[in-house]
Structures are given as structure tokens and as C-alpha cells.
Structure 1
Amino acid sequence: MAYDHTLFRAAVDRRRFLAGSAALGAGVLTMGIPRLARADSPPLLVTSIRSLSNPYHAVWKVGADAFAKQMGLEHVTLVTEGNSEKGISDINAMIAKTNGHMVLNVDPNNTPDARPIVEACAKAGVFVVTWWNKPADLHPWDFNPHYISHIEFDGTSSGAYIAEELFKAMGGTGGFVAIGGIISDSASIDRRRGMLAALKKNPKITLLDWQTGEWQSQKAFDITSSWLTRFGPKIKGIWAANDDMGTGALEALRSQGLAGQIPVVGIDGIKAAVEAVKAGEFACTVSSDPYWQGGIGLSMGLEAAQGKFDPSKEPKLHREFNASTVKITSANVDAYIKTQVDTHPQIDWTNLWDRVASPITYS
């Protein structure tokens, strides 16, 4: 059965869907959606992310598509557009449509979303990998074997690192402003915690204000423009919890001729941020390699579905971990651009655990 390789839109009435979704585990969901019979054919590869307007998730999809092409399999991308209900509903609809004959690589829109997604996958026999967001009491080994892994990147250390780099670029003194992500998002919480920890170690640095930009460039642009009017020359640096917001802040600086005079930092390693590091407008960024993320989660699901390994027999460090990152500054930006930006290296998608960095700890 062929699928649209771009974006799946559930062609069902949402209220009717929600009313019937409780029956999904028993296989009684009837919505007029054609189901895929389980057969010898490979499962459908499914990705669920927030938005393709976000450069980070756009590269994630590129990696997912590349893996699917390499495997000769079909791939569908679902987008939440920041709506948790839509994200969960679209995943459940796809489970129903495929009769569970799929694997899922998902970045839940919000922390609580992970539980209903994982529960639905486990009931339907779908192998799933989650990223970034999940409740602290939800673990892959509680849903063996189908919940393969939960993967994050140490947001506390990344938030602290970019803050320290910002403070150095500021000369170790002065005021800065900070733009956070979605308040309930675990990555946003951890990165802010790291920034505040670095601030405590630098008594000559002052946090002038912190506001949430909800991971969005335009909101960061508006917030920064307001700050430039409010604080003027008191602003000596801008800390952003992700690069999309950081580049939004940079555009606000550019509009007032201040780019390169007030350093900006962010996280994700998107192309615009990396180029800003090279131009001297960003002090640094941190890449979690969304291209790799897009493919490796699908690879884990596919290999588990094919019986190549049993997730329940893997050590806990493979089930729930922080993956490695790359710190990008003026010292290594040229090499990074040469090897990573626009020319993604050949990845061994079967090397499932090569970027395990540390266990996830919950505070």
C-alpha cells in the first residue's frame, strides 16, 4: 500500500476519533480508515516531530528520508505544529491505519504526551523511540519490548556551556537577556537550569530578563526588539535556548545595526547559527545532529521489528541515555561546515549505540 511521503493528515473527525480511541488496544477502532494487514512486508517508517518550519526538525526529516531511501522503504512524517492533541491523535490514527504494522520515531510535543503515545504503541505492537520529552517516571523497560529507547542530550550542561561562552564573549561582565523554550518542555527546563548555574559562578554578570520564546524565531525577534528598546546599551549578550530563537534575536540585532556587537548563543547547530558563528555574530552553538536523530530512531525500530535484537535484553544505558553533542565555536566552525553542513556524512545506521554519552538523571 503506497503512502504520501510528505505529511499525513488524518482524514477523520477529531471528536469522533477521540471518542473511539480507547478501543484502539482491543483493535475495535472503526473510523473507515483502511488498515494494513500484518504480513511479510516491512513495516511503515513513521516520524512525528513538531514543525518543518523549524530548521532543526526540517533537518531531522532529511535524515529520516535518507534512511528510508537507503532501506528502500516508505516513510511518513507527521507534524504536531505545537498541538499536543493533534500529535497524539495523528499517531493513533496512523496506528489504526497500519494495523500497528509500523515503527515510530517521535519527538513528543510536550512532556506528558509521551505516556499516551508509548501506551498506544505498546498495545498495538509498534516499536517506538522517543526523544527529549517524557515524564521522569516513564521508562522503556516498563513497556518491554516495544518501547525501545528514550534519548536526550544533556540540556543542563549545554545550557551552562553556551552561557559560559557568552560570558567570555562579553568580557566577563555586564548584563544579558535570555530566551527560553516552552516552559514545560524538559529540554527548556534543563537548559535554563544550566544557564542559571553558570550565572551563579559569574558574579559580575547580570541577568536583565528572561522570557519564553516557545522555540520560535518570530517570537524571539519580537522579544528581542522589545528588550533593545527597554534596556538599550545595557544588553551585552543574548542567551537563547535554541538556535531558531537565537537567529530570531540576531535578526532583531541586524535590524538595528548591532549584529556582531552583541554576541548571541544557541543550541541545535542549525545552518543559520553555524554561519553566524563563522561571521562572528554567534559566540557558539551546540549540535545534537538532527540528521542522525532522524535516521537512527527509525533504524532502532526497524531492527527490533525485524528481530535483529531484543530491546528488553539491552542494558538500561541503551534504553535511556543522553547522546553526544558537538560544540561549535570560531575555533572549529570551518571544519564543521566542511564536514557537516549541506554534505551530511555517510552514517552507519546499524550502529545503534555509538553515540551514548551518559545516563539520564532526573532531579
Structure 2
Amino acid sequence: MDDRNSFYRLGKVNRRTLMMGAAAGAATLAMPAVLRAQAAPTLVTSIRSLSNPYHAVWKQGAEAFAKSVGLEHVTLVSEGNSEKGIADIKAMLAKTGGNMVLNSDPNDTPDARPIVEATVGAGAFVVTQWNKPADLHPKDFTPNYVSHIEFDGIASGKQIAEILFKAIGGSGGIVALGGMISTTAAIERKKGLDEALAANPNIKLLDFQVANWKSTEAFDLTSNLLTRFGDEIKGIWAANDDMGVGALEALRAEGLAGKVPIVGVDGIKSAVDAVRAGEFAATVTSDPFWQGGMGLAIPLAAKTGKIDVATLPPENREFYGTAVLIAQDNVEEYYKNNIDSQPVIDWTDLWGRVTGPIRT
């Protein structure tokens, strides 16, 4: 059944019901609740910043899904301000009367609780991604808090570190750029780096600096690190691609692009271009296009009754999604299928990329 047509049919039923209710008298009082329950919901995405290429692709995925089901889509941007992010969501809940589904990447880990509580309290449905407190669980807010999605940051951080170590010949000094220290992804990716370092004693971590996921901060920090350590720096580990690209620009300013390998996470276009050019050794993508669309598809399926949230297994409530390594051996194929053209995703395959439950 075409979702768009089903929502249109619901709208027609509402108008007939309203006319019948007006004639019946007492039933009229119940009409607003019925209308809210059956009207087409609004799809809402809440992310940190569209200036970040990763979140820009996330928005594209959300819009592609919204178009596929014929629903209105609204993007809320916190610009790294937790209070703004939470306030904007509450305002949208009020505007829609709770008739919405939300895909939220909370700006910071503590933000997830007020976002979930406000959404559930309004009767809306929500999926969170990346950041939430360890004691906040979808099962405690069934059915409205449908799922939480992460990607195994420890595995990704360790994988790219090992590739970097191999690229510099198994020994030498590296520097590392971390994300916001209070976010799950930054914490886990740093743990992965630490595990790789512990297993490779010939690699020396010269310095670890926090660049808060931003290319501008990474550029400045890398420039300073190059001045400080000079040719001791054989490679650069970055917790996300945007910081990696900032580091690359700092290397380019010193004529070192392609001579000092970089690794990152996210699979943004500029990083994939750098892999193709031999300036990045690798990147790992969680596929933000998929995240943007599937983070709406799952709660919409719950709201419309296509899935019964109460019967979902634990691995569908809090799960790791599938991450993909992009390196020299597969970069051209990835570029063709994901950058040269819009990815083709089956939005009805809600659980096809589940790799397992999140570690507790």
C-alpha cells in the first residue's frame, strides 16, 4: 500500500467523521483527539550542524525517506547548543500536538533524557543515535522510545589506528585529534586508539588534542603540532573525517599532503576524495544517509502500527549499526555507488544493518 495515499485516505475519513460528529452533538468533543491521531505526522530530524558534511548527508537521507512516504520533513539544528537543541524539539512537539516522529542525534550525552521525556510525554515517537546516558533505555519508555542506534566506536577507532600504523611501517610517532570529550563516539574511538597503541609498542603517541569534531580547530591544532614535533609526526589519527580534513589542510600548507597519512571516521566526500588521492589511508563510514532516513523509518513504523514495539527483541531496541571501511581497495566502488549517485536503500528493511546489541 502506498503510504502517501493511505494518509490522504485517513484525511478524508477525518472530514467525514467531523461532519457526522457535528450532527451527533456529544461526539464532537472527541473529534480533536481523533484528528490528531489520524492526520499525517510530521517527520523531524534534530542534528548538530549542517556545516558538518556528515550531518549534511544525514539530512539528505532524511529528505529522501520523507519523499518516499510523502510526508513533511523538518530539520532542527542545534549548532552545538544543547539548550537550543532541546528547546527546538519541545517547540516542534507543541506545534504538531505530538503528532510527529523524531530522529535525534543529541548534541551531548545528557541531552538525550530531556529529549526522550519530552517526546514520550507528548505522545510522539523517537529514535536516538550516538549519544545517551547509560541508564536511559528505550524499553523503559515503550512504545514511544523505539530504538537507540550507535556504531561500535571502539572497533572503528582501533581499526583505523591499525591501518595508520601499517601505513607508516609499524613504527614511529603519531598525533591524534579527538572529538567532544563528553560524547559516546569520541570516548569509544579514543578507547579503540588506546587498544591499538597497547598492542603496538613501536608506535609512539606524541600528543592527543581535542578538536571538538571541527575542521577549523583541527587545522589550528595540527599546525601547532607540526611546529612542535616537526618530522617526528609520521601519521595523524582523527576521530572524525572533518577533523582529518582540517589536519590535511595543515599538512598541505607545509607541503606534506600525501606524505603524512591520515585516518578518520564518517566517510564524508572530502575524506573519500583524500583516500582516492592517497592523502588519507582510510576512513570508516556509518552511512549518514542511512542514519538520516532509517532513524525516521523506524519510529514511523511504530507510530503507524507496522511494528509492535513491545514485542521487539533487545537487539532491535539498542543496537550497533553496520560500519564500512573505505580504503584503497574499495574506494572507487564506494565513490561510484554513494557519491557519484544517491545511495539506493530499502527503507522497509528496518533491521538489516543491525550487527548486535550495544555493550552495557
Is 1:337 the equivalent of 2:312? no
Task: Note the residue ranges of structure 2 that are not aligned, 5 or more in a row.
Answer: 1-33
CA contact (8 A) 1:37 1:98 kept: no
**Are residues 1:205 and 2:219 paired?**
no
The answer on 1:73 being equivalent to 2:71 is yes
Q: Secondary structure at the match of 1:284?
A: strand
Correspondences of 1:51-70 after superposition (within 5 Å): 51-70=49-68
1:166-315 → structure 2 map (5 Å cutoff): 166-315=164-313
Tell me the residue number matched to 1:8: none
CA spacing shift, 1:64–1:342, aligned 2, 3 Å = farther
| Map of 1:96 onto structure 2 | 94
**Aligned residues, how many?**
328
Contact 1:180/1:192 (<8 A) preserved = yes
Partner of 2:140: 142
Identity %: 65
Q: 2:110 maps to which residue? A: 112
Give the deviation of 1:338 after TM superposition. Answer: 1.2
Deviation per CA, 1:310-351, whole angstroms, max 9, x where unpaired? 112100100000000110110111111111114123211011
Give the partner amino acid of 1:69: K
Deviates more, 1:305-314 or 1:216-225: 305-314
Q: The residue matched to 2:121 in structure 1 has which SS?
A: helix
Q: Which amino acid aligns with 1:129?
A: V
Contact 1:175 1:208 in 2 (8 A): yes
How many Å separate the matches in 2 of 1:167 and 1:147? 41
Say if 1:112 and 1:135, in contact at 8 Å, map to a contact too.
yes
1:356 counterpart SS class: coil
Q: Deviations over 1:87-143 (max 9, x none)?
A: 011101110111101000000000000011111111111110000000111110000
SS at match of 2:230: helix
* In structure 2, distance between residues paired with 1:37 and 1:47: 23
Structural RMSD (CA): 1.2
Q: 1:168 to 1:120 in 2, by over 3 A?
A: same
Correspondent of 2:125 among 124, 127, 131:
127
Q: Is the 8 A contact 1:37 1:99 kept in 2?
A: no
The TM-score with structure 2 as length reference comes to 0.90
Cα deviation, 1:282-304, whole Å, max 9, x if unaligned, reads 00000100001110111111111
What corresponds to 1:15 in structure 2?
none
**C-alpha distance in structure 1 between counterparts of 2:35 and 2:261, whole Å:** 55
Structure 1 CA distance for aligned equivalents of residues 105 and 251 of structure 2: 31
Partner Cα separation in structure 2 for residue 325 and residue 135 of structure 1: 22
SS in 2 for 1:129: strand
Greater share of helix: 2
Tell me if structure 2 keeps the 8 A contact 1:176–1:207. yes
Q: Is the 8 A contact 1:241 1:267 kept in 2?
A: yes
In the other structure, the counterpart of 1:31 is none
1:348 aligns with 2:346: yes
The whole-number CA distance in structure 1 between the counterparts of 2:61 and 2:160 is 26
Is the 1:158–1:267 Cα contact (8 Å) retained in structure 2?
yes
Does the CA contact (< 8 Å) of 1:260 and 1:282 recur in 2?
yes
